[in-house]
Amino acid sequence: MTRKLFGTDGIRGRTNAGAMTAAMAMKVGQAAGRHFVRGGHRHRVVIGKDTRLSGYMMESALVAGFTSVGIDVIMTGPLPTPAIALLTREMRADLGVMISASHNLFADNGIKLFGPDGFKLSDEAEIEIERLIDTDIPLAPAELIGRARRIEDARGRYIHAVKQSVAAELRFDGLKVVVDCANGAAYQVAPSAIWELGADVVALGVTPNGTNINDGVGSTAIAALQAKVVEEGADIGIALDGDADRLIVVDEKGRAVDGDQIMALIAGRMQDRGSLTGGGIVATVMSNLGLERYLGGRGLDLVRAKVGDRYVLEAMKAGGYNVGGEQSGHMILLDYATTGDGTVAALRVLASLVRSGKPASELLHVFDPVPQLLKNVRYEGGKPLENAQVQAVIAEAEASLAGKGRLVIRPSGTEPVIRVMAEGDDQGQVEQVVDAICEAVRAAV
């Protein structure tokens, strides 16, 4: 059985359309609640959200769903996705829910689920929840309906937890850091955590109004951060996305540093300290060939997983790795968190900056990336990758890159687009290959 509602990162879509309605959220709450009933104790769920307008509606619907099947609900208000994973485990909850569409604009929303261990659900668990949604789920007797409450100290708990990823004796005094929170879930906690460690913080994207999340700010729109870093003469810039599970960095010259470079930095420094496990790291098929070559030069492996941080996590757990992530900025550091945590990764980068005494432009550009190009082709229906002409063009491209580069073509798990990526030592060839495939896909749709 395949998943119909769940994509690569939970359920996501346009609010008040398709799967992202209040009615569906209530059903998800009922089904997930029923799936996680285990034993005779009072069951509980932790629910967090980002700052988008529809979060109130989705939160209320989920609360109705969970309480109707006898699950008690703890609401945290706006908090990063990794904070919900943390609190789910720390509060001995039976599951956790994050209401967020990550880096998407405000009109979209999503539902991410965590098990009692703080890890995202397996494909099998999501399939079972989908099956339950299509059944008549028994409701709790009137006297056993769940209770709901809000907790006021969730932000402080998370700030305290992420600061533990930095050595107790280390301070960020003397660092000027621009922190862009995308008007999203970390708008209070990330600047506070960095400031508490001694840095001079300049905050961007910290005035959410329900509709400005990820709008011209955050890890997918870094121009404002780049300009601010240069304008302020800052040492470094930190960009999070709407739910703060990913990180992009900007050096003091305003140049972007992606997830591949961040992983290279963190892995190399951990290898030097003897704390890197598994003999390498886990990334995805989208990570740059330059990262693979750099790690190989240090005697480390690069294991490639499917796109999606939970697939990275599965490979990490299977191989005993404690560092993994995605080029897009998801950083999973299992010594400190059970899922991608942009704030934890940022603190690790800042700690390295302090210890090295080097400028960010020198420290963070660890390897020379191979020319890489990614383009998206939007489509409305059908299966363009099954078109004979598209397959012929792809085969020709693969043959031309053999031994000189890589080609990755995949449908997005969160929106109706085909992603076409190629990389190789010849920039012109890379561009030619990507353009040819994109044109073939457009013709097919």
**Which long-range contacts (C-beta less than 8 Å, at least 24 apart) are formed by 298-305?**
298/268, 298/271, 300/267, 300/271, 300/276
Greatest alpha-carbon pair distance for the chain in Å reads 69
Give the list of residues 6+ apart from residue 121 with CB closer than 8 angstroms, or none.
Answer: 113, 114, 115, 129
Beta-bridge partner residues of 46: 74, 96
Q: Is residue 248 within a helix (H) or strand (E), and if so which, with residue range?
A: strand 247-251
Helix, strand, coil distribution of the chain in percent, nearest 5: 40, 20, 40
Q: What is the DSSP letter of 151?
A: -
Q: Are 259 and 240 in contact (CB under 8 A)?
A: no
| Catalytic one of 54, 60, 68, 102 | 102
Tokens of 353: 């900056």
Where is 344: in which H helix or E strand?
Answer: helix 342-356
Angle between helices 123-133 and 22-35 (to 10 degrees): 120
* Spatial CA neighbour of 132 closest among 195, 49, 219, 65: 65
Beta strands in 107-240 (DSSP E): 108-114, 148-150, 176-180, 200-204, 236-240
Annotation marks residue 165 as catalytic = no
The dihedral sign for the CA sequence 361, 365, 368, 373: negative
User: Which of 371, 372, 351, 373 is closest to 360 using CA atoms?
Assistant: 351
Q: Which of 183, 106, 253, 50 is nearest to 191 (CA)?
A: 183
Q: Write the single-letter amino acid at 277.
A: T
Nearest to 59 by CA among 19, 102, 98: 98
Neighbour order of strands in the sheet with 417-424: 372-378, 417-424, 405-411
What's the rounded Cα separation, in Å, for the pair 304 and 327? 12
Between strands 236-240 and 372-378, the pairing is unpaired
Q: 423 with 432: CB under 8 angstroms?
A: no
List residues with catalytic annotation: 102
